[in-house]
Amino acid sequence: MSNKKPYVIGVAGGSGSGKTFFLNCFLNHFSSEEVCLVSQDDYYIPQGVMTAEENRLHNFDLPTCIEVNKFEKDVFDLLAYKTVYKQEYTFNNPLAIPKLLEIKPAPILILEGLFIYHYTKIDAIFDYRIFIDAATEIALERRLKRDLIERGYSEEDVMYKWSNHVMPSYNEYLLPYRSKCDKIINNSTNQLRNVLDITDDMSNELRNKLGI
């Protein structure tokens, strides 16, 4: 166990901004002993089995949909170099069998999600804040592709959620924190090289900074 606090990086961005793609590229530069990732998505309050209409109308894009106390406890345990166990969130898919996630502490701790800068206790621990940006039409295109293919939503349901839940929440709970971030990454293109170059530079800077 180290006496030195892990270096905490926040990665936030709206739906369809490409957070997952960016993180996958970034994490490829480190071993599992060097970095650990905690996703806010795994802390959604389970809603149980919902009908298609209930799912469409339920707003998952609110900070109150997250088990904040559990999220905070696990993050602070990782800061104290304690291993955390968390059941995977399956987005209310009755066919999915949730895995038990074992999250081991590391010198670099990455927290990602929509509301990580909104929660006061979490926001206070960041050493470096990243905001992933994408043009609205590009983000919507990615959201459509994901929800139609991976989650089986209809296009009508996706558009309803985008207009009534996703964008209002983005404007109220995420966009106000953009200006205080250390790095804003424009991820509107789907050019792999752009993201690879950014993560190459960032990982090199981080290794030099932390001496790892």
At the topology level, CATH places domain 7-210 in: Rossmann fold (3.40.50)
Distances (CA, A) of 114 to 60, 110, 134, 209: 11, 13, 14, 27
Model confidence pLDDT, tens digit, residues 63-91: 999 999 999 999 999 999 999 999 887 76
Model confidence pLDDT, tens digit, residues 135-155: 999 999 999 988 887 767 788
Region 6-28: mean pLDDT is: 94
Residue 34 — pLDDT band, cuts 50, 70, 90?
Answer: very high
The segment with the largest mean pLDDT, out of 38-47, 127-136, 184-193, is 127-136
Distance of alpha carbon 208 from alpha carbon 68, whole angstroms: 33
User: What is the pLDDT, as a whole number, of residue 57?
Assistant: 75
- Compute the chain's Rg from CA coordinates: 17
Distance of alpha carbon 198 from alpha carbon 185, whole angstroms: 8
User: What is the pLDDT, as a whole number, of residue 146?
Assistant: 84
User: What is the pLDDT, as a whole number, of residue 51?
Assistant: 72
Which backbone phi and psi does 186 adopt, to 5 degrees? -85, 115
> Could you tell me the residue ranges of all domains in the chain?
7-210
180: tokens are 């205080």
Q: What is the pTM (predicted TM-score) of this model?
A: 0.88
Model confidence pLDDT, tens digit, residues 88-105: 877 666 677 888 889 999
User: What is the pLDDT, as a whole number, of residue 3?
Assistant: 65
